[in-house]
Amino acid sequence: MTASVRRARGTLLRAAFDRRLAFGVGALLVGPAVYTLVGDYSWESWLSDGLVSVLGATGVALVVVALSGRRPDWIE
């Protein structure tokens, strides 16, 4: 299980370092999250609300990273 978590983390980090990819993936995650959170659907439950919130927050974080760019580790 730890190997698959590490692979997912590595994939997410590689996506965050590429600005165009981060923006695209972030927009893909934010779109359905906003659509689901705004609408009131009969199939929604606490599990789907939580999953949509996590995916939406990840998408927003990727969009912010894409728009702001990388910052240096330290300022001299």
For the stretch 19-59, pLDDT in tens is 999 999 999 999 989 988 888 888 888 888 899 999 999 99
Per-residue pLDDT band at 13 (split at 50, 70, 90): confident
d(C-alpha 58, C-alpha 23), whole Å: 11
Contact criterion met (CB below 8 Å) for 20 and 49:
no
Question: Which is more confident, 32 or 74?
Answer: 32
pTM of the complete model: 0.78
- The answer for 72, left when phi > 0, alpha when psi is -120 to 50, beta otherwise, is beta
Contact criterion met (CB below 8 Å) for 18 and 69:
no
Query: What is the pLDDT, as a whole number, of residue 38?
Result: 87
Residue 72 scores a pLDDT above 80? no
Q: Length of the chain, please?
A: 76
